[in-house]
């Protein structure tokens, strides 16, 4: 890596980020330690993977590829990987000659979820694509023709009702639209959300009573058309957080906040006083633009916490910041907002126990970059301010940590495991790491050696057999 000519080789196609050239299957994977017998299901992870020989301008671009690991009876039964066979993979352009957007011709490369017995691969610029439990593509899904906008890659499932809340955003009006799927997978609600312009809204939150929208100053720039991320920091746009009662779709109360950007939300809840409490990984000011829009430019600092600056850590510290776990408390009685940084370390990809989505939750899990050389999986205690860290060392890169609850009756919130695909930074191998969520800093419960490198990608889900029986 140190001898790479970064003027000619984009960093995002080297080492642990480099795409793989094919699809493979492997069975009976080697396990070190003991996989908990309760882990019966699939860990699926999505990310961009250009076809062999296909140019890649940016880490965020590339056809979606889902990597799957099947665990059962204390064994790692199989690994397989498959490209999501979108129209884009077949060579179809997403924009027609008349300027219309084909929402089936987007790469579906950001996340993968299960809802109503179906597995959906997602990207915020297009329609979801459905795949089988064996990762074969079934086709795009517009929920019976009712979905007419793109779908966020970060929908939120209400753990009590089973409903799936999501939104889509666009460069033309209506700029943001809220949607809701029933527990059975029927699109039952769509409502435009009034925002002043073409904002980039990557994620949002729900509480038991509300949807929470982040209308922040990263806006569409027509001069960047053709770039995988055609958005720029524009502080004149303003920064607001909107609270919408779930029983009044489209009716949003906005709260002005300090300029910042959020790619990934931790969680939200409504407290006993009726205030909405939102936690997220917050970039201060245009650090977000530096952190994400420059990815793929060899001369630019990435700012990504798990990915060191090619120009050296001194340069990175001088011109980029990190996302930090931040809290906003929105008071509907006074109209006031309180902002607090919960922890000063740089984090990204916050996750939590899905049973606590929209409810009071004590713990968040995230990837931390340390000093730009070390990487770690961290557990943050929102009540006590305590942090537990599982340090991986400078040669290992952690992927998003997915929480899997134990089946114990009356279990504690953190009674379960964290699953993360980790890579050697030089790209020479990958493992599935299983940590005890009650003892994140301790020795791994188990690790599974994967038959190939899994490129560091984006988001994944633990999907149980029970979830797939709900169709």
- 459 among annotated binding-site residues: yes
Name the DSSP letter for residue 234.
-
From 442, 327, 308, 331, select the one nearest 388 (Cα to Cα): 442
Inter-CA distances, 54 with 31, 61, 437, Å: 35, 11, 40
Tell me the sheet residues that pair with 211: 206, 244
> Please, are residues 139 and 125 in contact by the beta-carbon 8 Å criterion?
no
Distance CA 215, CA 198 (A): 10
The two structure tokens encoding residue 389: 């860290």
Tell whether the torsion through CA atoms of 296, 301, 306 and 308 is positive or negative.
positive
- C-alpha 136/C-alpha 133 separation (Å) is 8
DSSP state of 243: E
Integer Cα distance of 39 and 467 in angstroms: 14
CA torsion, ordered 144, 145, 148, 153, to nearest 10 deg: 30
As a whole number of angstroms, the distance between CA 350 and CA 207 comes to: 17
C-alpha count within 13 angstroms, C-beta hemisphere, residue 327: 20
Determine the Cα–Cα distance for residues 330 and 376; give it in Å rounded to an integer. 31
For the record, the structure tokens of 322 come out as: 């990190």
Distances (CA, A) of 452 to 72, 217, 435: 20, 40, 21
Q: How many CB atoms lie within 10 A of CB 260?
A: 21
16 is in an annotated binding site: no
- Flag whether 227 is marked binding: no
3-state helix, strand, coil in the chain (%, to 5): 5, 40, 55
Q: Name the burial class of residue 327, with classes exposed (0-12), middle (13-18) and buried (19+) by CB atoms within 10 angstroms of its CB.
A: middle
d(C-alpha 72, C-alpha 69), whole Å: 10
**Annotation: binding site for Fe cation:** 154, 202, 264, 459
**Annotation: binding site:** 154, 202, 264, 459
């Amino acid at each position: 890596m140190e001898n790479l000519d970064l003027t000619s080789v984009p960093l995002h196609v080297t080492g642990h980020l480099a795409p793989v050239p094919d699809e493979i299957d492997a069975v009976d994977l080697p396990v070190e330690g003991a996989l908990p017998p309760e882990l019966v299901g699939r860990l699926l992870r999505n990310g961009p993977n250009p076809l062999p020989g296909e140019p890649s301008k940016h880490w965020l671009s590339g056809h979606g590829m889902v990597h799957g690991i099947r665990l059962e009876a204390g064994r790692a039964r199989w690994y397989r990987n498959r490209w999501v066979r979108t129209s884009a993979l077949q060579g179809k352009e997403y924009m027609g000659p008349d300027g219309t957007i084909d929402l089936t011709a987007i790469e579906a490369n950001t996340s993968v979820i299960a809802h109503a017995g179906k597995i959906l691969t997602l990207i915020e610029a297009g329609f979801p694509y459905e795949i089988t439990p064996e990762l074969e593509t079934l086709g795009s899904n517009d929920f019976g023709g009712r979905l007419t906008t793109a779908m966020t890659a970060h929908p939120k499932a209400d753990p009590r009702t089973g409903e799936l809340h999501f939104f889509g955003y666009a460069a033309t009006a209506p700029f943001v639209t809220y949607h809701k799927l029933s527990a059975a997978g029927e699109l039952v609600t769509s409502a435009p959300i009034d925002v002043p312009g073409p904002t980039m809204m990557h994620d949002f939150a729900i509480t038991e009573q509300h949807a929470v929208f982040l209308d922040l100053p990263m806006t569409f720039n027509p001069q960047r058309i053709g770039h995988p991320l055609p958005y720029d920091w524009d502080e004149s746009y303003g920064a607001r957080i909107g609270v919408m009662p779930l029983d009044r779709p489209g009716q949003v109360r906005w709260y002005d906040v300090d300029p910042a950007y959020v790619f990934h939300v931790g969680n939200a809840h409504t407290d006993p006083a009726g205030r909405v409490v939102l936690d997220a990984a917050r970039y201060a000011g245009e650090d977000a633009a530096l952190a994400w829009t420059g990815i793929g430019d060899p001369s630019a600092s990435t700012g990504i916490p798990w990915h060191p600056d090619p120009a050296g850590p001194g340069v990175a510290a001088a011109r980029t910041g990190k996302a930090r776990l931040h809290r906003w408390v929105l008071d509907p009685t006074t109209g006031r907002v309180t902002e607090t940084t919960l922890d000063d370390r740089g984090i990204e990809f916050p996750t939590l126990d899905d049973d606590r989505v929209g409810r009071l939750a004590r713990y968040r899990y995230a990837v931390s970059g340390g000093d730009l050389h070390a990487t770690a999986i961290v557990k943050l205690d929102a009540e006590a301010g305590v942090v537990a860290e599982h340090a991986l060392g400078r040669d290992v890169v952690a992927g998003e940590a997915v929480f899997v609850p134990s089946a114990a009756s009356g279990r504690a919130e953190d009674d379960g495991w964290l699953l993360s695909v980790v890579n050697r930074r030089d790209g020479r191998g990958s493992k599935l790491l299983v940590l005890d969520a009650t003892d994140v800093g301790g020795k791994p419960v188990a690790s599974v050696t994967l038959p190939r490198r899994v490129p560091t990608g984006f988001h994944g889900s633990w999907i149980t057999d029970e979830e797939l029986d709900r169709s």
